[in-house]
Amino acid sequence: MRQPACFQAAIEIIELSDKQDRPASAVTAEYLRSRRYIGAKDRKNIQETLFSLIRNRYFIEWQFSQIDVEYSARALAFAYLIKINESLDQLNSYLDGAPYSPAPLSPTEHTWVTQYLEYCKRPIYQPPLWVQGNYPQWLENELLKTYGSELIPEMQAFDSNAPMDLRVNTTKTTRSALLKKFQQDGIQAQPTKYAKNGIRVLGRPALLSTKEYRQGKIEIQDEGSQIITELVSACSNHHIVDFCAGAGGKSLALAEKCAPNGKVISCDTSQKRLNKIKPRLARSGLKNIEIKHLEKTSDWQKAAEQTADRVLVDTPCSGTGTWRRDPDARTRLTEKSLADYKRQQSEILDEAAPLVKQGGRLIYATCSILASENLEQVENFVQRQKMFRLLPIGEIWRKEIGNIEVPTTNTLQLTPKQHAVDGFYIAIFERI
């Protein structure tokens, strides 16, 4: 495909995402699946173009508001080309009338495009914080609670490209052996900074088609997610409950750590999500994971009270910590959906707490950077559940991760800027 055709594909994906109110990543997958003729190189080009457009959306929409231009996916894309080139040259080269290229400018578009170019050439006064930081305006107070004066540098890190991290299945191989194999195959990779069994891959090689993936030697998992499973402090005889297991990435990591004598129970309210564990479990070769579908009335939960050494509660959340991977999620988050997440988090914590035995630990985790989903939930939980105390995370980090950058706070907020991982939050409680 020619570059203009890739550009037009990105426009069409944004149009579909806006119209259907669906994540751009899901729309992209469906779009490309129905167009098998698009090669791997062009798919990568389309996805990179799409993410660049989405990451510039708040800034360009704010510019549009200054000169009274109506937003559309096509207007966003054209403005992006003008903004990065400070001319109409590249835009005009894309409007060449060739098949699959963007349609020529209409008279109305020609007027605003000329106006926008002149606007881009003027000195621009300082945009509002939410424009500089590329986040919804209504979230500003929430984000200031988390980052304070570091808000803009922290938020700018969310506009970087997320790396590809792998977790090594240590029941089948070692990190050093895989790094050596990757080097032989021409795949650039290095050990992760914090996670003991992690590998960071440079670039975007097709790892899902490798023998190592098919044989279950690796799983794709952000280093931040791996850090959470490290801080669970699982031992070989532990009984562990992964209460919001989803597709099971953390369950698999925990099952390795508590093998051969321990076991993991992977729970979720969605059978569809739980079904995704099964092929991963088959590849891994692990035999110590039991899958349970959580329903409103569950005899299992009652019988399992005060039996678990560790209960991991990685709750549904706003997903603000994953904005590098899912940049359009910031436009889909609403005040109502955030309120719903916060209510669910409190309910899930209270539901999971009885499973922890005396001396056991409850690990609360989110992929959020919002104080109301993180520290405020922790403080409220301690007030409600008097049989739990918050453990300072520093000593646990020192034991499981090492002496590198030991946290001095009771709970931990991981960020792309500070740790080069997704924005995860972790708090650890002990039942007393």
DSSP state, residue 373: T
| Nearest-angstrom CA–CA distance, 263 and 48 | 41
d(CA 228, CA 209): 27
Judged against a pLDDT cut of 90, whether residue 204 lies above it is answered with no
Looking at residue 203, what is its pLDDT? 84
**In 145-268, where do the E strands start and end?**
164-168, 189-191, 198-201, 218-220, 239-242, 263-268
User: What was the pLDDT predicted at 300?
Assistant: 86
- What are residue 264's DSSP bridge partners? 240, 289
User: Is 239:309 a contact under the CB 8 Å cutoff?
Assistant: yes
Which of 313, 320, 266, 318 shows the shortest CA–CA distance to 288? 266
Amino acid identity at 23: P
Q: Residue 352: exposed, middle, or buried by beta-carbon count in 10 A (0-12, 13-18, 19+)?
A: buried
Residue whose C-alpha is closest to residue 202's, from 183, 229, 230:
183
| Other C-beta atoms lying within 10 Å of the C-beta of residue 156 | 14
Mean pLDDT of the chain: 94
Handedness of CA 15, 19, 25, 31 (dihedral sign): negative
Tally of helices (H runs) and strands (E runs) in the chain: 22, 12
DSSP secondary structure string for all residues of 211-240: HHHHTTSEEE--HHHHHHHHHT---TT-EE
Which helix (H) or strand (E) element contains residue 425? Answer: strand 425-431
Please give the pLDDT value at position 295. 80
pLDDT digits (tens, 9 = 90+) for 345-374: 999 999 999 999 999 999 999 999 999 999
Question: For the residues 123-148, what does the mean pLDDT come to?
Answer: 92
Give the mean model confidence (pLDDT) for residues 35-42: 89
The dihedral of CA 323, 328, 329, 333: what is its sign? positive
Closest to 406 measured CA to CA, from 194, 172, 106: 194
The pLDDT score that the predictor gives to residue 1 is: 84
Listing DSSP states for 62-122 in one string gives: HHHHHHT----HHHHHHHHHHHHHTSSHHHHHH-S--TTSPPPPPHHHHHHHHHHHHHHHS
Residue range 144-169, pLDDT digits in tens: 999 999 999 999 999 998 999 999 99
Q: Which two tokens stand for residue 431?
A: 């039942």
| Cα→Cα distances 215→218, 268, 281, 373, Å | 8, 26, 11, 37
* Dihedral sign from CA coordinates of 92, 79, 26, 322: positive
Average the pLDDT over each of 189-198, 229-238, 297-306 and give the range with the smallest value: 297-306
Average pLDDT over residues 160-186: 95
Answer yes or no: are the C-beta atoms of 367 and 423 closer than 8 Å: yes
239 bridge partner residues: 263
Q: With left for phi above 0 and alpha for psi between -120 and 50, is residue 277 left, alpha or beta?
A: alpha
Which residues, 6 or more positions from 74, have their beta carbon under 8 angstroms from its beta carbon?
Answer: 11, 15, 102, 109
Domain annotation for the chain: domains and CATH numbers: 3-125 (no CATH), 164-220 (3.30.70.1170), 223-431 (3.40.50.150)
Question: Does pLDDT of 431 surpass 80?
Answer: yes
Reply yes or no on whether the pLDDT at 299 is more than 90. Answer: no
pLDDT tens sequence across 363-414: 999 999 999 999 999 999 999 999 999 999 999 999 999 999 999 999 999 9
Q: How far apart are CA 56 and CA 50, in angstroms?
A: 10
